[in-house]
Structure 1
Amino acid sequence: MQLSNLPPSSCIYEIRVREDLDDDLVTWFGPLSVVHGSNGTTFTVPVRDQAELHGLLIKIRDLNLTLIALINK
């Protein structure tokens, strides 16, 4: 998804997890960008509303990932 195609009410969040996620798993989150670093994985995702944000956080929890940062861009 391109930034220009997002609904006007969307927010962009940067999510950083400690684990090094493979591309197949990161794709599930629908990221705009992904950075694999020595300190884990950072991806930027569009979020339409709080319910969608909670869904992402639940998925991170269910996958037993360690959330390092959640930043509203």
Structure 2
Amino acid sequence: MPVRGYRLVVDGELSDELGLAFRGMTLTREHGTTVLAGGVRDQAELQSLLQRVSDLGLTLLGLEALDENGDTRSHA
């Protein structure tokens, strides 16, 4: 099964320590938000990632699937 790229935007600039909860994802802090980007193998892994956002009390501002070039495919 191919890996699909995703880009999640959460409210607040996550600390490096909190960022460890998202190993395998690239963290970029931008104007009061944090962008998490990386590959996700399947829907179960995506659900786990979203649950981690919730468990940490973070506010999800956006979720985008990326095409193979890293461009946005869809918005949720």
TM-score class, shorter = 0.7 to 0.9
Hey, what does 1:15 align to over in structure 2? Answer: 8
SS in 1 for 2:51: helix
- Residue 57 (structure 1) aligned with residue 15 (structure 2): no
Runs ≥4 in structure 1, deviation > 3 angstroms?
Answer: none
- Residue 71 (structure 1) aligned with residue 64 (structure 2): yes
SS in 1 for 2:13: coil
Aligned residues: 65
SS in 2 for 1:60: helix
After TM superposition, the score normalised by the length of structure 2 is 0.76
After TM superposition, the score normalised by the length of structure 1 is 0.79
Name whichever of 33-42 and 10-19 sits farther off: 33-42
SS in 1 for 2:64: strand
CA distance in 2, matches of 1:59, 1:17: 12
Aligned-residue sequence identity (percent) comes to 35
CA distance in 1, matches of 2:46, 2:36: 14
The runs of 5 or more residues in structure 2 that have no matched partner are 67-76
- Higher percent of residues as strand: 2
CA distance in 2, matches of 1:64, 1:71: 20
